[in-house]
Amino acid sequence: MKKKALISVFDKTNIVDLAKGLEDLGWEIISTGGTFKHLKENGLNPIDVSQVTKFPEILDGRVKTLNPMIHGGILYRRDHEDHVETIKENHIESIDMVVNNLYPFAKKLKEKAPHEEMIENIDIGGPSMIRAAAKNYKDVLILTDPADYERVLETLKNGEDSIDLRADLARKAFSYTAQYDSLIASYFNNYLEVSYPEKLTMTYDKVDQLRYGENPHQKAAYYKNAFDDLGIEIKQLHGKELSYNNLNDIFATVKAVKEFKEPAAVGVKHTNPSGIGVGENIYDAYIRAYECDPTSIFGGIFALNREVDEKTADHMSSYFLEVIIAPSFSAGAVEILTKKKNLRLIEIKDLADFDLDKKNFKQVLSGLVYQDQDKFSQEEKDFAFETVTKRKATDEEIENLKFAWKCVKNVASNGVVLAKDKATVGIGQGEVRRSWAVEEAIERAGDKISGAVLASDAFFFEDTVEALHKAGVKAMISPGGSIKDQGVIDLCDKYDMTLIFTKTRHFRH
């Protein structure tokens, strides 16, 4: 008796070659709808599924393979006498291979299709067939990926069909349907604005096997979120492949630079900013960020929210950077920067437009915590703060305090930022004591501290005020919220310093 393959695919890539190869090996092809027509038009001799089921396709194709003549032929165990007898009694024929891929739900997500169209692109019969074949993989080959067609044909031609191959195909099939269902679940959560569903499903596509992880002895791979990242184009123009640490730093740098609408540049080392600056043009913004800490940025990365021009590229090429990220690079900049063989140039054309203000998660014991992004509004019209001291900030100080407040949101806690002229001049971060972060920022600012203001990601105490007063800082911004706030305010009044409370904390752990 001839072996039979049921072929029903939306994506018809290489399907004719597979079907011809199977026919050449003596297999019979059962097919449905558009796939049946496509195979017939290409000279093959498929059997229409309705001839097998003895029932027509109904409900605009919603029901065509949901039938015992199909699922019985897939699911019965060939080594169980009762199963074999049942199949004979009901005149059901074996189906020994299922080739299936599903309606393009992910494609419709990317296209932002209307809700009714999304619903019509939820496949029902396909996942049922795939899961049935994958469950019975010892007896049935299941193909869901066109990339597997050639290797399966070669295996059959050479008589090398193995249980390991079948199990691997089943593994891929279950992963495929699991992701499909996850996308649908995520779509409905988004459609109904359910932020924290009872069952959290997230699905990712493998982009690259990395050389190693955070350290050379750790294996790692890069996966892209199949739901939230649809439509974001990240293009590497030059340089060696990205590493685990590069990808981690890129995320931190892009998050920081997206705080600003004006020309801005952010330098980062090990996810911590080494300098942030804005300016009238991208070169001025970049130089301000670079000059905050020209030593630590060696081996770091830069993100800019405007095209990298020749002047900026020329300076960037004067020292060692791992990665440069921008919406575009001028031809002259590319010529300059590509002379450095290993420097990665990353182009994100829609850098200013795509939304990072979604959820983030972090691994904890036995699971993860899932939260909103820290997306406190930084629009000037929404910038809410309260001056709690007698001294009021000057207009110039206010502008720099607003800038510093955006910056401190992106440093590691405990963290503080000293800034002036729309540039960081000293950053203290990741300390277990806030006063140590303040001392660190003051030391790094050096003689640039004159006229600087300070932003703190959380409340501080009198020791911070004392250190800043001694350094000559006159204006500060912090969330406030400590039981010791009044003592801090009184000390600021004593030293004629300005303190502004935002009542919003910016921890980044």
- Of 408, 392, 463, 449, nearest to 259 by C-alpha is 408
Place of tokens 């690079």: 329
Q: What is the per-residue burial (b if ≥16 Cβ within 10 Å, else e) of 354-371?
A: beeeeeeeeeeeeeeeee
Secondary structure element (H or E) that encloses residue 189, with its range: helix 163-191
* Contact (CB, 8 A) for 336 and 314: yes
Rounded Cα gap, residues 206 and 304, in angstroms? 27
List the 47-48 sheet strands across, edge first.
47-48, 28-31, 4-9, 97-101, 141-143
Rounded Cα gap, residues 182 and 204, in angstroms? 10
Q: What is the per-residue burial (b if ≥16 Cβ within 10 Å, else e) of 7-23?
A: bbbbeeeebeebbbbbb
Going from the C-alpha of 143 to that of each of 74, 172, 177, 481, 508, the distances in angstroms are 13, 8, 12, 59, 45
**Would residue 217 show up in a list of annotated catalytic residues for this protein?**
no
Q: Which of 12, 83, 270, 311 is catalytic?
A: 270
**Would residue 270 show up in a list of annotated catalytic residues for this protein?**
yes
Instruction: Indicate the length of the chain as a whole number.
Output: 509
Q: Which of 3, 20, 83, 135 is catalytic?
A: 135
Which long-range contacts does 59-68 make (Cβ < 8 Å, 24+ apart)? 61/33, 62/124, 62/125, 63/125, 64/32, 64/33, 64/125, 65/6, 65/8, 65/32, 65/125, 65/128, 65/129, 66/124, 66/125, 66/128, 68/92
* Contact (CB, 8 A) for 424 and 275: yes
Which residues, including other chains, have CB under 8 Å from residue 491's CB and lie 6 or more apart?
Answer: 462, 465, 466
Tell me which residues are annotated as active site.
135, 270
